[in-house]
């Protein structure tokens, strides 16, 4: 059993958000922080792509936004180590992958054990990897959705924090299904961050279990 520990040292907690593109999930986190429904500070936003629109969203919100190009590094480990160093340098407590289109390796995972979240546009473990909405549509499932999970070395495979389901309609296209799922993504990501930061949870095997005050005190 693993208990959520006290490694969230800052109050409010400091988030590092990793992106590769549009940044609509980043925006939902920015909005939740601004609205006061998420007690946290976004310390830094990092993109592996210079053209990521999310970098502009961050700058518009007055958040430090950095492009770290993988080209500057000899291999994936060196890149991940540089990311870990940058995040630690900003005293980040929790790392949020928000459309970050790279596999995260050991240097980053070991620097933030059980402190990295990812959002994926399917009900995991179904349809991991790329183009999850297309996979769901082509498979013919009647229900799909969004998942926020802790990141491990297994692709889209860590303990699940929150999921939300949406129906798949006969007339759906990849775009219409993606749009319906995105609404849920924007709702559950800030909620999952809040939950993880609150600390009332533990891991039992691969299960993320919330600890109610009565159970915790029992």
Q: Which of 145, 135, 137, 151 is nearest to 183 (CA)?
A: 145
Give φ, ψ of 195 to 5 degrees: -60, -45
Could you say whether residue 121 binds ligand GRF (CB under 6 A)? yes
The least distance separating ligand GRF from the CB of residue 100, rounded to whole angstroms, comes to: 7
The least distance separating ligand GRF from the CB of residue 31, rounded to whole angstroms, comes to: 13
Per-position DSSP letters for 155-186, written without gaps between them: TT-SPEEEEEEEE--TT--HHHHHHHHHHHHH
Select 21 or 159, whichever has its Cβ closest to ligand GRF.
21
Sole window of 6-14, 55-63, 72-80, 113-121 interacting with ligand GRF (rule: CB under 6 A): 113-121
User: Of 120, 139, 149, 186, which residue is the catalytic one?
Assistant: 120
Beta bridge partners of 162: 148
Asked if 149 is an active-site residue, the reply is: no
Select 14 or 186, whichever has its Cβ closest to ligand GRF.
186
Which of 29, 63, 109, 119 contacts ligand GRF by CB under 6 A? 119
Q: Alpha-carbon distance 14 to 7, whole Å?
A: 11
Max Cα–Cα distance, the chain, nearest Å: 52
Number of residues lying near ligand GRF (CB under 6 A): 13
Which of 4, 13, 25, 104 contacts ligand GRF by CB under 6 A? 25
Which of 16, 99, 105, 159 contacts ligand GRF by CB under 6 A? 99
- Strand 201-204 and strand 2-3: the pairing is antiparallel
Which of 87, 93, 185, 195 contacts ligand GRF by CB under 6 A? 185
Could you say whether residue 22 binds ligand GRF (CB under 6 A)? yes
Select 148 or 196, whichever has its Cβ closest to ligand GRF.
148
CB proximity list for 71: less than 8 A, separation 6 or greater: none
| CB neighbours of residue 146 within 10 Å | 28
Question: Residue 150 in contact with residue 161, Cβ under 8 Å?
Answer: yes
Could you say whether residue 145 binds ligand GRF (CB under 6 A)? no
Q: What does the binding site for ligand GRF look like in residue numbers (CB under 6 A)?
A: 19, 21-25, 54, 98-99, 119-121, 185
| Catalytic (active-site) positions | 120
């Amino acid at each position: 059993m693993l208990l959520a520990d006290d490694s969230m040292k800052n109050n409010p907690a400091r988030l590092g958000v990793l992106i590769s593109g549009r940044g609509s999930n980043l925006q939902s986190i920015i909005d939740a922080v601004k609205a006061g429904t998420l007690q946290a500070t976004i310390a830094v936003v990092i993109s592996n792509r210079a053209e990521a629109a999310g970098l502009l969203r961050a700058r518009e919100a007055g958040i430090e936004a950095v492009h770290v190009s993988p080209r500057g590094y000899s291999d994936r480990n060196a890149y991940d180590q540089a990311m870990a160093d940058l995040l630690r340098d900003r005293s980040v407590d929790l790392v949020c992958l928000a459309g970050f289109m790279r596999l995260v390796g050991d240097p980053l995972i070991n620097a933030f054990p059980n402190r990295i979240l990812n959002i994926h546009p399917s009900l995991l473990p179904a349809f991991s990897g790329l183009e999850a909405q297309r996979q769901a549509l082509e498979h013919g499932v009647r229900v799909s959705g969004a998942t926020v999970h802790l990141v491990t070395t297994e692709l889209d495979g860590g303990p699940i924090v929150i999921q939300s389901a949406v129906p798949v309609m006969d007339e759906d296209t990849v775009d219409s299904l993606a749009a319906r799922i995105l609404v849920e993504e924007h709702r559950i990501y800030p909620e999952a961050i809040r939950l993880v930061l609150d600390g009332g949870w533990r891991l039992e095997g691969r299960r993320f279990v919330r600890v109610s005050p009565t159970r915790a005190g029992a």
